[in-house]
A = this chain, B = another copy of it.
Amino acid sequence: MLRPCRLYGKIMYIEKQKSKECWTISELAGQLDISTRTIRFYEEKGLISPERTPGNQRIYTSRNRARLKLILRGKRFGFSLDEISEMIGMANADMDEMEQIKKSFAFASTKLKEIKLRRVELDLLEQEILSTMDKLKKRMEKLKKQEDSP
């Protein structure tokens, strides 16, 4: 049931399947270009829960890493950590499972609608930037002409 995973030169034992690779907190932080404090903070908020070594240090599996990536993705779209927490289905404990699932389901489908709107907005934003660039270009050409033949 347990498989080895090298860490700090020793062999650690964690759950099967997750055992291909694991990382320390600073390794992961380096990979994802965030601070270790950020990762610990997400753990405080209940967004991730990595295993620990016998010496109490955090070990992150590829599953943990995937979840972190998902969180960062959410953030890049302006979702708050609380929202992301709900999206992952972390929230609403103390409910019977059926109710919990229904609520998560409803939440997910409103988020899907939001995502469709975001697509449209992303297009608008792109057009906005393109038109700004166009104006800049024209202004630049005008300035160059003035320079060449004053």
Q: Chain A interface (Cβ within 8 Å of chain B)?
A: 70, 73-79, 87-89, 97-98, 101-102, 104-105, 108-109, 111-112, 115, 118-119, 121-122, 124-126, 128-130, 132-133, 136-137, 139-140, 143
Number of copies: 2
Closest to A100 in B: B136
Chain B nearest CB, measured from A103 CB (Å): 10
Chain B residues closer than 8 Å to A87, beta-carbon distance: 129, 132
A125: contacting residue among B115, B121, B132, CB under 8 A: B115
Chain B residues closer than 8 Å to A115, beta-carbon distance: 122, 125-126, 129
Chain B nearest CB, measured from A119 CB (Å): 6
What is the interface of chain A mostly: helix, strand, loop, or mixed?
helix
How many angstroms from the CA of A64 to the CA of B118 in the assembled complex?
22
How many angstroms from the CA of A87 to the CA of B108 in the assembled complex?
31
Are A122 and B118 in touch, CB under 8 angstroms?
yes
User: With A77-B77, A121-B77 in contact, is A111–B129 under 8 Å at CB?
Assistant: yes
